[in-house]
Amino acid sequence: MTNFDAPGARALETARVRGAQYADVRFEEGRTERVEVRNGDVVTLADETSTGYGIRAFCDGAWGFASSPDLTGAGIDLTAARAVAIAKAGASVAARRFAQAPLERYVDSFETPCETDPDTVSLGDRVALLLEAERSLHVKPEIAVGHAWIDLWRTDKTFYSTTGSRIAQALRQSGSGLAALAVGNGDAQQRTHPGDVGLYQSGGWEIVELAALRENAARIGEEAAALLTAPQCPAGTLDVILGASQVSLQIHESCGHAAELDRIMGWEANFSGTSFLDPAQLGTLRYGSDAVTIVVDNRMPRGLATAGYDDEGARSVAADIVRDGILVGFETSRDTARTIGRETSACVRAQNWQHIPMIRMCNLNLLPGNLPFEALFEDVDHGIYMESNRSWSIDDHRLNFQFGCQVGWEIVRGRRTKMVKNPTYAGVTPQFWQSCDAIADERSWTAWGTPNCGKGEPMQTGRTAQAAAPARFRNVQVGVGYN
């Protein structure tokens, strides 16, 4: 990790001289490596690095942000001056003030766990794994496209502030997955593994191995082909069991985004929307059933958003959002938390050095229940078990949703029976979570990463996690969109 102490000090001093009452600067060195195989061809062998810094300046109750890759003294001076000028421009027309200068000071370092450094795995071995796994998808002639990929990400970042903070973090994240597209019978059906985007977690090569691509490829290919002739998912009001990765998506869309306090305050109103939640509901709103407890945990070892500190230099914490079904907290930043008289939950992140930090859901976990996965089926007379997301849409208040999965199996009198295609379900967020009456235990609880969460303008791609186990929901509207 490069030592940025000297340019960091220069950036802060320039901002101060230009008139900033507070400033911070975040230097980042990022490296992303991707290998991708498609129908036997290695279509991607990419190795990308990006280094730069983003400066936040606080002037008269307004923030300015400027970023640059120019690490020369002149470049740093120019960027710091730009951040201050932008803050002053904002302050000049501000009828109200959103911001207050931070006071905290941390001198610390943090590293995500990494059992096997990906650098110890040759490019040749990475390619060989994907070629073998992708080839194994083609178990049926209907498989028109096989696809396999590996992503290896490394981010070294150092944060400095005018309060004296110096925080160095080394974050390692890895992911991989498979997809099989089957075409035939006038239809096209896709299956993916693991989950819908692959398995993404903090860590090294061990995360790729955990995905077990070779071991699951043939099954995924078989299922994709079988979907072409599977019957349509029935429509009606049925019980639903969602696989763990779909529960992760459900948390992400209907809780994670809904509980972002910037969104609740209208900061995202023009793009990703607002929220049905309100600070006045804290401690009183029944968000879900007693079985539902959802927590922020940004230091959990394998979360894709795991970090010691967020991107405004606040220390990561564990905090409840929903406890035993009751709404008790939000994902917050310093500025937003202050408006409700609380401390930040340190959920501020930027996509990279180039972008302004803002509230992200980070690691948001549904705590596991106490039933083995198989036991979820025993009490279902007629229902659908659905796996792996295919379609997701929710309104801009995060209330009315409609999700679709890649595959379903009809449940009849407690037993999983025939495969059905195009399973969809719809609901309204609090009613849906109140219908959750059982969650599988920790043996099927996984920290599912979402590597592609969009928010903000210019839009940033965030890396979030939602640890989840399969869960059961009663009396759900199923089959929407096809009936």
Partner 1 sequence: MDEAGREDVAQRVLGLAGGACEAIVVDSDVGLTRFTHNAIHQNLAERDTSVRLRTIVDGRTGVAATNDLSEAGLRTVVTRAQASAGLAPRNPNAPALAENPRVAAPPGAFDATLAAVTPEQRAEIAADVFRVADAGGVWAAGYVTTERSGITLANSRGTLSSYDATTCGLNVKVNGADATGYAEFFGRALAGLDGAAVATVAVDKARAGAAPQPVEAGAWTVILEPPAFGELASYLLDHFSAQTYDEGSSFLSDGLERRYAGERVTLGDDFAHPLHAGMPFDYEGVPTRRLPLLEGGTAKNVVTDATWSKRLALPDTGHAEPAPSAAGPQARHVVVSAGEQSREALIAGTKRGLLISRFWYIRPVDRRRTIVTGMTRDGTFLIEDGKLGHGVRNMRFNQSILEALARAEFADTQALTAGYSYSIVVPAVKMEGFHFTSVADF
**Site track 249-288 with partner 1 (rule: CB under 8 A), x = hit:** ----------------xxx-xxx-x---------------
Stretch that binds partner 1, among 36-44, 133-141, 407-415, 464-472 (CB under 8 A): 36-44
| Residue 164 in contact with partner 1, rule: CB under 8 A | no
Choosing from 147, 157, 172, 252, the residue that interacts with partner 1 (CB under 8 A) is 147
With 0-12 CB in 10 A as exposed, 13-18 as middle and 19+ as buried, what is 55?
Answer: buried
| Residue 475 in contact with partner 1, rule: CB under 8 A | no
CB of 415 to partner 1, least distance (A): 28
Choosing from 116, 397, 416, 435, the residue that interacts with partner 1 (CB under 8 A) is 397
Residues 72-111 interacting with partner 1 (rule: CB under 8 A)? 79, 82-83, 85-87, 89-90, 92-98
H/E run at residue 137: helix 123-137
In sequence order, which residues have a C-beta less than 8 Å from that of residue 59 and are 6 or more positions away?
Answer: 19, 20, 21, 84, 87, 88, 91
* Closer residue to partner 1, CB minimum distance, 79 or 464: 79
* Beta carbons of 400 and 428 less than 8 angstroms apart: yes
Using alpha carbons, select from 227, 231, 230 the residue that is nearest to residue 140.
227
Question: Phi/psi of residue 90, each to 5°?
Answer: -65, -40
Question: Phi/psi of residue 99, each to 5°?
Answer: -115, 160
CB of 131 to partner 1, least distance (A): 7
Using alpha carbons, select from 466, 463, 464 the residue that is nearest to residue 448.
466
Choosing from 1, 6, 17, 46, the residue that interacts with partner 1 (CB under 8 A) is 46
* Beta carbons of 228 and 182 less than 8 angstroms apart: yes
| Residue 45 in contact with partner 1, rule: CB under 8 A | yes
Give the whole-angstrom CA distance, residue 401 versus residue 473. 15
Q: Under DSSP, is residue 377 helix (H, G, I), strand (E, B) or coil?
A: helix
DSSP 8-state class, residue 435: T
What are the residues facing 407 on neighbouring strands? 387
Choosing from 11, 12, 58, 68, the residue that interacts with partner 1 (CB under 8 A) is 68
**Site track 351-380 with partner 1 (rule: CB under 8 A), x = hit:** ---xxx-x----------------------
| Residue 116 in contact with partner 1, rule: CB under 8 A | no
| Residue 463 in contact with partner 1, rule: CB under 8 A | no
Using alpha carbons, select from 92, 83, 27 the residue that is nearest to residue 58.
83
| Residue 457 in contact with partner 1, rule: CB under 8 A | yes
Interface with partner 1: number of residues (CB under 8 A): 85
CB of 271 to partner 1, least distance (A): 8
Total residue count of the chain as it appears in this document = 483
**Site track 171-190 with partner 1 (rule: CB under 8 A), x = hit:** ----------x-x---xx--
* Closer residue to partner 1, CB minimum distance, 164 or 266: 266
| Residue 230 in contact with partner 1, rule: CB under 8 A | no
Using alpha carbons, select from 156, 148, 199 the residue that is nearest to residue 303.
199
| Residue 145 in contact with partner 1, rule: CB under 8 A | yes
Choosing from 11, 12, 25, 62, the residue that interacts with partner 1 (CB under 8 A) is 62
Choosing from 393, 417, 452, 475, the residue that interacts with partner 1 (CB under 8 A) is 393
Within 10 angstroms of residue 179's Cβ, the number of other Cβ atoms is 22
Within 10 angstroms of residue 77's Cβ, the number of other Cβ atoms is 18
Q: How far is CA 96 from CA 61, 195, 222, 304, 335, in A?
A: 8, 45, 59, 36, 13
Pairing of β 326-327 and β 348-349: unpaired
CB of 438 to partner 1, least distance (A): 27
Q: How far is CA 292 from the centre of its chain?
A: 20
* Closer residue to partner 1, CB minimum distance, 17 or 89: 89
CB of 433 to partner 1, least distance (A): 18
CB of 25 to partner 1, least distance (A): 14
Stretch that binds partner 1, among 1-9, 281-289, 387-395, 405-413 (CB under 8 A): 387-395
* Closer residue to partner 1, CB minimum distance, 92 or 370: 92
